[in-house]
């Protein structure tokens, strides 16, 4: 039996390539259908050795963002021309609205069962700004064999805000939380010991307004005021359009905040995390937040945004704390909490990161596939 993935974002981050490769290593036969908008993306992230089959189609038009149902109607016959469905036993749609809309139509026409993943783009764009599509999203969710969320926070938000009360129990029963994974090569870190005279905070990510690197710098300065016995600094790995504005900040001018630019390769990022004590990335919106998991794999406690993709992956305090992305004071408060029992928390981060290694994540997804097909 072949699992058909419908994955409009496959050409982007390599998270999907990693997932499919680890599923293939566990014996899952797969075909990936990629409805693509940009010609430059065609053929990206192709697997080596024929681990799985990828079928790109340059079928998305610039105006499709405004014509949701037209796009789905066009994609279905294209998929059926490009993919041999005779051996397909299950479909996995990797977004609710875009990929799920195609999987739902395919299910209606062929009876093929499907599972669907709800991502941040579904919640932060479609659910929020396309309210006329919410009833259709509910139809997709009800038709799916299983519904997958990247975090408990996303599951709880969708069920509470966007699912009719009469259907919450039904959809809750078939909902699963399966986060993204981390490459096992990262899992070589060591526990940190906190120095009494310094605290070095890490920020990793694009220097964008939504990532709020300026708030991270403000939080570091607030910590410096609260911890006069320590030299508190922050190092920011990444680049982006906010860099010129950040360079003008007094903390950067004084050397209390350092802009490192892009760090190339895993080894450079490992060295960056190994030299810091704590990760703070107060993103307004975060699909999952691989940077938190990468930092944990190097022994860093993490501060992540409340209600976003990393929130709820672990018990509060286990690896760090959720913060209010609008409150510098809350970020500083939670950082101080991270310093309590720091060495034990650092060691715990290493062990918790191992629970989200890609083989384990792929194994959980394979179990969901088997359960969905067994109905």
Ordered structural domains, the chain, with CATH: 2-181+358-374 (3.40.50.2000), 184-354 (3.40.50.2000)
Residue-wise pLDDT for 220-263, tens only, equals 999 999 999 999 999 999 999 999 999 999 999 999 999 999 99
Tell me: pLDDT of 66 over 80.
no
Q: Would you state the pLDDT for residue 49?
A: 78
Contact 303, 331 (CB under 8 A): yes
pLDDT surpassing 80 at residue 346: yes
pLDDT, one tens digit per residue, over 180-221 is: 999 999 999 999 999 999 999 999 999 999 999 999 999 999
Question: Please, are residues 148 and 178 in contact by the beta-carbon 8 Å criterion?
Answer: yes
Report the distance separating Cα 75 and Cα 70, nearest Å: 9
| Res 70: pLDDT | 82
Alpha-carbon span 183 to 165, nearest angstrom:
39
Sign of CA dihedral 182, 186, 192, 197: negative
Quote the pLDDT of residue 95: 97
When the pLDDT of each residue in the chain is averaged and rounded to a whole number, the result is 95
Angle between helices 15-25 and 358-374 (to 10 degrees): 70
């Amino acid at each position: 039996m072949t699992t058909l993935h419908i994955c409009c974002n496959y050409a982007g981050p390599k998270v999907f390539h990693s997932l499919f490769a680890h599923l293939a290593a566990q014996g899952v036969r797969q075909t990936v259908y990629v409805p693509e908008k940009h010609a430059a993306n065609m053929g990206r992230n192709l697997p080596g050795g024929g681990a799985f089959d990828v079928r790109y189609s340059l079928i998305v038009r610039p105006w499709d963002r405004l014509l949701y149902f037209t796009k789905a109607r066009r994609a279905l016959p294209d998929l059926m021309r490009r993919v041999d469905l005779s051996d397909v036993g299950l479909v996995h749609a990797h977004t609710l609205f875009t990929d799920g809309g195609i999987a739902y139509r395919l299910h209606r026409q062929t009876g093929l069962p499907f599972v669907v993943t709800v991502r941040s783009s579904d919640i932060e764009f479609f659910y929020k700004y396309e309210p006329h599509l919410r009833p259709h999203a509910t139809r997709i969710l009800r038709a799916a064999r299983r519904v997958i969320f990247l975090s408990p926070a996303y599951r709880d938000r969708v069920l509470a805000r966007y699912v009719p009360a009469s259907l919450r129990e039904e959809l809750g029963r078939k909902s699963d939380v399966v986060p993204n994974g981390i490459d096992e090569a990262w899992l070589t870190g060591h526990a940190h010991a906190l120095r009494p005279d310094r605290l070095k905070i890490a920020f990793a990510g694009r220097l964008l307004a939504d990532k709020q690197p300026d708030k991270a710098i403000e939080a570091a300065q607030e910590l410096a005021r609260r911890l006069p016995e320590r030299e508190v600094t922050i190092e920011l790995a990444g680049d982006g359009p906010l860099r010129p504005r950040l360079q003008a900040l007094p903390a950067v001018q004084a050397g209390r905040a350092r802009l490192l630019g892009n760090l190339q390769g895993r080894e450079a990022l490992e060295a960056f995390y190994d030299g810091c004590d704590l990760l703070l990335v107060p993103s307004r919106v975060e699909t999952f937040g691989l940077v938190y998991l990468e930092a944990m794999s190097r022994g860093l406690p993490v501060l992540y945004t409340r209600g976003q993709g990393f929130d709820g992956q672990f018990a509060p305090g286990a690896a760090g704390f959720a913060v209010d992305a609008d409150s510098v004071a809350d970020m500083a408060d939670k950082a101080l909490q991270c310093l309590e029992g720091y060495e034990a928390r650092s060691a715990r981060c290493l062990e918790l990161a191992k629970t989200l290694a890609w083989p384990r994540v792929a194994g959980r997804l394979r179990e969901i596939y088997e359960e969905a097909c067994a109905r």
